[in-house]
A and B are shown apart, each in its own frame.
Chain A
């Protein structure tokens, strides 16, 4: 597709369950980012991939969160043993060459809204 695609757009789950969120970046974009955003707040950085490798995972809140990008394109954010505090919109963004390029402009997906009951 032309833009960043995220699925599911909405996910409601119960506390303690496992969740996977998928991101399909713009074709050819080597950099991929995961953020989460709560209402009235700016995006909170989680992890950044350059190609297949996680270049910076310092934003992952704890070891229940994990992300992969095995072929350097699609990425999956995995959350184990979900907690109510994990409820947020999870945004994926991609950029052509990563933040050290001229502008590092990010193209965001529509987000996956996660609700943990």
Chain B
């Protein structure tokens, strides 16, 4: 079956660094997405990885290991506005996005 696993909730402190992990098992693989979703809002695109390695984009970085079926999203210099759910999604062999349930990130001052 197809499965995306990520922690349900994480807490971090303003100014710190946090890493949100995601493991995936999908039929085929055409890339891994991270989206951010604030409460009662639409998801917004953060990153896309299809090759192994780290992609850095400002305070946010995303890492992929295809052999391990593993990705993480790294958030640096955390700000209160980063409090949101972070959704991991894998693009399977049919180019359909398989979504995780999301990780709710709580930032404390």
Residues of A within 8 A of B30 (CB): 99-100
Interface-side segment among A41-49, A60-68, A77-85: A41-49
Residues of A within 8 A of B42 (CB): 4, 91, 108-111
Residues of B within 8 A of A40 (CB): 8, 101-102
Decide: A104 near B95, CB < 8 A? Known: A40-B101, A41-B101, A42-B100.
yes
In the complex, whether A56 has a CB less than 8 A from a CB of chain B is yes
Is chain A's interface secondary structure helix, strand, loop, or mixed overall? Answer: loop
A29 to B65, CA, bound (A): 31
In the complex, whether A106 has a CB less than 8 A from a CB of chain B is yes
Q: Interface centre among A43, A48, A98, by most B CB within 10 Å?
A: A43
In the complex, whether B96 has a CB less than 8 A from a CB of chain A is yes
Q: Which of B58-79 contact A (CB under 8 A)?
A: none
In the complex, whether B31 has a CB less than 8 A from a CB of chain A is yes
Residues of B within 8 A of A4 (CB): 42
Q: Which of B31-80 contact A (CB under 8 A)?
A: 31, 33, 35, 41-45, 48
Decide: A104 near B91, CB < 8 A? Known: A45-B97, A99-B96, A109-B42.
yes
A100 to B4, CA, bound (A): 21
Q: For A100, give the chain B residue with the smallest CB separation.
A: B95
Partner of A103, one of B35, B43, B48: B48
Residues of B within 8 A of A20 (CB): none
Q: For A103, give the chain B residue with the smallest CB separation.
A: B48
B105 to chain A, nearest CB (A): 14
Q: Is the CB of A105 within 8 A of B45?
A: yes
